């Protein structure tokens, strides 16, 4: 028994949802689960197919990327996860996929426009896409700088990471997060579906207009905030 068994179990179960939801192929993607009080997180090992994963394969690290428990090399995206955990104390799960439609928008270097109420149910703005990473950042500590891409974008655009729980990294793909690893995976699935809906809408009508502000406000506020009435109490 390990004091990190519960954290590793949550991480493993969240990772296994990615192939179940059709969000990854082979060894693509990763999910991490954090304990902010202890300053540690568990993450999928690098390059291991999902069907071969076990709970014990999850690697536990501190927020400075020191391995605390685990025999395998952690995900190559580990430094991106740790940087977000260090800076955003309100999150306990991060998910990264290479899902088709989300990656397509990232490769096109475009925000995903808010055109319908399904999008507005989850966030009240376009899903942001970061600028292309500079050569200096690419040649430096790449995965750490990927985290900086996210942090810098949110700071410069004055975005609240607890209201906007998803982003596209230009030319790369989506990162999502939440107050649990399950919520991070949920946001990955939502992001992929919104990316698909936006793409199909623009195929049907390239001149599709953005969703009107009144509908954005209604749909976002009925699920979020003090006057929300969606779901059960």
Residues recognised as catalytic = 121, 230
Residue 169, strand partner residues: 173
Report the C-alpha gap between 216 and 21 in whole angstroms. 27
Report the C-alpha gap between 28 and 210 in whole angstroms. 32
- The pair of three-digit structure tokens given for residue 3, joined into one six-digit string: 């004091």
Report the C-alpha gap between 3 and 63 in whole angstroms. 17
The whole-angstrom distance between residue 63's C-alpha and the CA centroid of its chain comes to 18
Report the C-alpha gap between 35 and 4 in whole angstroms. 10
Give the residue carrying structure tokens 């899903």: 127
Pairing label, strands 173-178, 166-169: antiparallel
CB 13 within 8 A of CB 161: no
The whole-angstrom distance between residue 157's C-alpha and the CA centroid of its chain comes to 18
């Amino acid at each position: 028994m390990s004091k990190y068994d519960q954290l590793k179990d949550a991480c493993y179960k969240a990772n296994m949802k990615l192939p179940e939801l059709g969000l990854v192929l082979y060894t693509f993607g990763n999910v991490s689960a954090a304990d902010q009080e202890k300053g540690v997180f568990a993450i999928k090992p690098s390059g291991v197919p999902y069907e071969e994963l076990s709970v014990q394969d999850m690697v536990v690290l501190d927020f400075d990327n020191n391995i605390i428990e685990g025999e395998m090399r952690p995900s190559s995206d580990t430094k991106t996860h740790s940087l977000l955990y260090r800076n955003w104390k309100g999150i306990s799960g991060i998910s990264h996929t290479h899902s088709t439609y989300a990656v397509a928008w990232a490769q096109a270097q475009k925000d995903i426009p808010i055109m319908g109420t399904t999008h507005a149910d989850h966030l009240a703005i376009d899903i942001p896409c970061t600028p292309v990473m500079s050569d200096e950042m690419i040649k430096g500590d790449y995965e750490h700088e990927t985290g900086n891409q996210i942090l810098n974008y949110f700071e410069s655009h004055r975005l609240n990471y607890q209201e906007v729980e998803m982003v596209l990294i230009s030319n790369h793909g989506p990162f999502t997060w939440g107050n649990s690893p399950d919520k991070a995976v949920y946001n990955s699935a939502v992001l992929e579906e919104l990316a698909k809906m936006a793409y199909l809408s623009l195929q049907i009508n390239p001149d599709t207009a953005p969703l009107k502000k009144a509908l954005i406000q209604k749909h976002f506020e009925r699920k979020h905030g003090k006057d929300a009435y969606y779901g059960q109490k």
